[in-house]
Structures are given as C-alpha cells and as structure tokens.
Structure 1
Amino acid sequence: MVTAPVTARQYGVLAYPLILSSILTPLLGVTDTIVIGQTGDAAAIGGIALGAVFFNTIYWLFGFLKVSTTGFSAQASVQQDETALQFALYRPVLLGLMIGLILLLCRSPLTSAGLYLLATPASLLPDVNTYIDYRIYGAPFVLIGYAVLGWLIGQGQVKRALMIQIVSNLINIALDVVFVIGLDYGVAGVAAASLVAEIGTVLLALTFIVRQLVFKPAYWQLLFHLQDYRKFFMVNADLFIRTIFLLLVIGWFTRTGASFGPDMLAVNAILLQMQYVIAYWFGGLGSTTTILVGRARGHDDNASYQQSVRLTRQFGLASIVLIMVLLFLCQQPFLRLFSADSELLLVASVYYNWILIFPLTGGFAMLYEGVFAGRTEGKPVRNSMIQGFITFAVLLLSVNWIGNHGVWLAFIGFGLVRSGSLHLAERRTQKKHPPAHA
C-alpha cells in the first residue's frame, strides 16, 4: 500500500512535541542538580549529580522498553490489528514491572556496583546513598512509564505523552522547591520529589489510556506465551547489548575522570547532565522517525520510508546547528544553572567545548537509532555501539598525555564512530532489504 510521503511541515508538527517530551525525561535529575546547586553545598551537589548519572544510566539501559514499543505500536496501528496493538503495550508493561521489581530486590549489589563504577569519593557517599535509597523505589514506575509512553507515541498520541511528562516535571519542580528550599530536607527531599513525580507519571498515564485498553479472557494465555515474545526479545536483545556497552562507556568515563580528583568528578557529572539533555533532544527526533518509519513498514511503502529518512537527516542537521549556537552563546548561564560554586564553574568552562561539539559528532547516532527502531531491527544499533566502545577504549589511552581532556576525546570519538557506523548501515540496509512497494 502506497501512501502520500510525509512533508517537512508534517514531520515538524510531529517532531517538536516529541523533542519536548523526550528532553523532559532526564530533567528530573537535572532539576534535582539545579535546585540543590543553589544551596552551595558542594557535597550535596556532587552527590546528587552522581546519583542522577547513576539513574540516567540504569534507565537508559532499559530504554528499549520505550524505543521498541514505539516501533511495534506504530506498525500495529497502521495494520489495524487490535490484538497486536494491545500486546504492543501489555508485553513491555509486564517486562517493565518485572525488571523494576528485580532492580528493587537487587538494590544493594546494584548500588555497590554503581558506586564503584562511578568512583564515588568517601565524602560524597552519604549523599549519593541517600539519593539512591529514595529513588530506587521508583524503578518499576519508571519502566512501566517507558512502555506506556512508547505505546502512545507509536500511535501518534504525542500530545498525551507530552502532557503526562509536563505534569510529572511540574510536580517534581514544585516538590523540589518545597522540600529543599522551604523545608530544608536537602538530598532526601530532592530524591523524594523525584520519586513522587515518577509514580505520578504512571498514574496519570493510566488515566489517559484506560479507555483504549481491551483485555479479553483469551489474552491471559497469549500474555504468557513465550513464543510470541520471540521477535520482541530478538529486537530488544540487540538493544540491551547495545546499552550494556553504553553503560560500560559511561562507567569507564566517570571512573577515569574521577581519578583526577573530586572536583573533576563533579565537573564531568555536570557536563554529562547537559549531554543527557542534548541526547534526549535527538532522541525526540529519533522517536519521530520511529513512528514514520514504523508506519511506512506497516504499509510496505518504500517512498514514505525514504522520505522519512531524508527528513530525519534534514531536521537532524538543523538541530545540530541550533544546539551548537545555543551552547556557544549561553555557556555561562547554562553552567550557572548547575552550581553556584565559582571555582567549580571555572573548571567546567575548561572542558565545555567538548559538550559544544557533542551534537555534531553524536547526534546522528540517535537519529539513526530511530530509523532502525521503526524497522524493528536492532543488530545495526548493537554493532555500532560495540565499534564505538572499541574506539572509546583506544582513545582513552590519551589521558596519559592530556588528562581529563582525553576522557572527553574518547567520548566524542565514541559518538562519532556510532554515527558513521549507523549511517553506513542504513545505506546498506536500504540496498539489501528495502521496504517493498505494494
């Protein structure tokens, strides 16, 4: 079936709310860091910054619950297959609940491993532990929320997904101010605010989708039919492996930077928070592409597929230019959001240029991940991550000569190789297995 290819205007109308929706995801951790940063408590700033990196990294590990759900939901919606559409939600929700409960049960060894990988200084341990102890109870809600938001986005219900995340972040910001500024609960207050916001996200999402849900008696048997999970797991296994290597990169990055002292650890953590926001911006564009590519695959429409990929590149390039200009013009205001410590900001300024070029080197990797998510193909994404990891490991040797700059050089090289690898993989995939014309 051939449909009219999407226009640039249609892509933009879909993309802008998805970008906003996406960057709201890491803003819980960013908001926590910003609010506590205004207190001037260096230990609390470092503790929450590390705690936020811990959770952003853990949840990124299971981000496939949102990415793949978006692809399956988009394909099922255009095929008008009610059972497939319902199970595009039920399966990842069940998996999210199970994974979240496992994280809770394993919170002690998980925390110990995270603190080791992050090379947490003894002076920051009390604050980091407090932050993790509160927020870890939000794990099942975060992962279920990923599945629900991915399902809504795959159907094109972007406004609902955006509204859910806006309300969640407003709750977090309001409670941060009340608990930290008003009641002086410090790190515990910041973590509790995020936990309430994470629970609120799921409760609000369920109120939006409950009328769209259908659960027939026969679904119980299908829900636990392992064979039906095969394609879901095949796609997600590759994405899971991909994220394992991403976790190794972030952990190695943080640990190596920490070897240069607690100030450098805090600086790298702050800059990583900025990197997460930028990454999720491109993730929003990637989600747009996932929807459009998923629909094209559902219709077996090659023209729509080609146009979706072209528009992804065009909007991606425009985003790279826009973000780099904003980063260049607003360096000091952006940095001051995270800390009132002038000495810490001075050190951060030395390494800021690495964040400035991050969109150029790593942006397209996240856009192409959206393409392959829409195609429900995970192998190219997995392979690009392994290639990027090898590049990171080799370039990290430069720390022996250029110190912490070598850590960022390795990270930038990691993103550049991933972008190049996925671009080439998409070109090869088009030639070998293009979506067929009807």
Structure 2
Amino acid sequence: MTEKRANTPAKPVLYLIRVLGIEPDEMIAVAWSFIYFFCILSAYYMLRSVRDAMAIVSGVQNIPWLFTGTFVLMLLATPVFGWITSKYPRRVFLPWIYYFFVANILIFYAVFTYAQNNELSEIWIGRAFFIWLSVFNLFVVSVFWSFMADIYSKKQSRRLFGVITAGGSAGALIGPIVTSIVVVQIGFRNMLPLSALLLLFAVFCVYRLRGWVRQQQPDPGNESASSTVVGEKVIGGSAWAGVKFVLTKKYFSAIAVALVCATFLGGATYMYMAEMVSVTFEGTDKRTQVFAIMDAMINAMSFIGQLLIVKHSVRKLGIGGTLALLPIVSVIGFTLLAVNPVFLVIAGLQVLRRSITFGLTKPTSDMLYSVVSPEAKYKAKNFIETAIYRGGDVISTWTIRFISGIGLSGVALVCVPIALIWTWLAIWIGGEYKRRDAASSGSAAA
C-alpha cells in the first residue's frame, strides 16, 4: 500500500492528466514527446522569420524560384531518406538526422558571419538558406511524427497527439517571441547557434523515449511498445516505396491531393503577405521582427486548439469532419478577400488559416498514419510531407505569378473552388480512415 501511494501522482497532476486525456503510465512518454516537439519547432521558428526576411532580400518576384529550388532538393533527398530507412534501424538513423541538420546550421552561421565581417552580399547565401530551411522543417517534423506513430497506438494517438502537438506550438510560440525580442540587438545570424542547441536537446529526448519503449516491452498487452524503435530490425523495402504508395493507394493519393490544395491556398496568401510587408517595412531585421510577431500570434492560437479543442473535435466530428473545418473556413475567407482585398483581411485570413492548420488540421492529419504499415509511416508520410508539399508550393507560386494580372480579388476567387474540392477530399479521407481503423480492429479481435 505504501509503495502504491508513493508512485501515485499528486491530486493536481491527476486532475491535469484527466483533463488532457493522459493515462498515468503514459505521463513520462507524453512529457518527453512534448519537450521533443517543443525543441524541434522552437529551433525552426527561431529561424523561420529569418528565412521569410531573406525571401524579401532575394526579391519577392523570385519566391517561385526559391520554392522550385526547394522542390528539386526535396526530390533528391527523398530517395536518399528512403534508402537510409531501408538499410538502418530507427535507433541509428533518428539521432543522426538531427546531428546532420545541427552541422548544417553551424555551417550557415559561419558563412553568414564571414559575409557580414567582410561586407559581402548575402543574397545568394540567403537564397540557399531559404531553400535549406524549407527542407529542414519538413524533414525533421515528418520524422518526428513517424516516430510518434510508431510508439503510440491508434487509440493513444487520438487522445495524445493534440497534447503532443501543443508542445510544438509552445515551441513555435516561444521561438518567434525570442527572435522578435533579440534579433534587432544581436543580429539574425546569432539566432542560429541557439537553434542548434535546441536540436541537440531533441536528440536527448529521442533517447529518453527509446528508454520508455524498452520498459514497455515486457508487457505484451501494451500495443504501444514497438521493438523496432529500439532494436536492430530495419523497415526494409525500396528507397522509392513512398512514391509507389502515393501512386498506387487511393488513401495516400487523396492525402497528397488534399495537401496540394492546401499548399496552393497557403502559397497565395504567403506571396501577397510578403509583397505587402516588403513595401511597408524597411530592413531585414525589422521585417524579421514583423514576421516573428505574426508567427507568435498564430502559434498562441494553435496551442489552445491542440491542447483543448482537437481531442473533442475528433471525438464529436470525427477525423473527416475535423479535417474539413479548414477548407470550409478557407471558402469563406477567400470569398471575403475577393470582396475586400486589403491588408487587414489577408493578414487576418493568414493568421486564422495557419492557426487552424496547426491547431486542428495537422494533429488530425498525423492520426491518419496510425492505421498504415510501419514502412508507410516513414516512407509514404515523408514523401507526401516533403516532396508533395513542396511540389504544391511550386504549383502555387508559379500559378499565382502567371495569373497575378487579375489582382488579389481574382486570385482569391480562383482559390474558392480549390477549397471546395479540398473539403470533399477531407470528408472522403475521414471515411477511409474509419474503414481502415475498423478493419484493423476487427483483425486484432479475431
């Protein structure tokens, strides 16, 4: 009895975990997952505002070229990642992915420092940094969620992914706030070493989570215990398996097309926002500060959605209903923008859409991979969230550039039917997830 009391959390902690839907034996894992995602997104968002400012330095008219370069790099990196996941166990490649990006950050820090000390142009360095950070973000986040889908079961993912995602939003809130406060005083290049330190701590979180999984293995009834996370077993398969999944499986094809629709609408708002900021504010540091403030607003709203809303939304509306919320809001928002194409409307639309994206849509989308094979969790998910995502950026930015003559109102009208198609896809994907979930549960029961 004494030992049981000693291991029982205090009443305030019990109340908190009950509100958040966390079981007592999941507390340690959820805490480390929360911190892990906090480190990743705070590291990224410290640098995202720098990236957006670099896009303006490069010239707003060149943004389509930057996304094209990002897409090409994604196409080159995807089979390399597929080969790594096919040949090495997760316990080996997960930490080294983060070590690789830490080394990249320190290289950029050295190059920016050299350029500033010698009064050299930063245009091409900035372009390279824009492309690199766009790849970095998608890879580290995709790998994170593949790892989460590995160590948590379907039932756990529906309860816990919102809370875990809130860790990312907390980091995405703190990162730009720190940047907005200190960047003008210390300069943007000095944000890079801080970002690298956070990534190194993320690696420490990976080791702690592997330790938790190892402790769960003696319990054969715990379906979250995945021996492949800590053992020598490799995923196997082809380096191009992710591409094959998307081309041959309707479930992944629909997720990919829905993502292209989402990125098209996001690209439209991003390009016009960048143009408005470029003519309103002077200097890289000041523009970095403006973007950081907007990011902080978005991430504060996202945090509330992830922590308190998404779990209830999935339970009440289902996966499909929750995924359909953002395209429905987009239909309304772009209709209003077509009628009144001013800065306040597009800024409000940007904040609202991105808040829903990270607060509701992203954690719900990550649940979609809890009903697929381990190979699909890493390869199909990675291909969709990197190459397909940036392919959508390329389609969006070039299309917007070619039709820019119709003005912001005309572009907003073009976005409305795309949002309607996206709504239908979201509902279909939700239905297919439900079918797969029922099929896998039936197999387990049998």
TM-score w.r.t. length of structure 1: 0.46
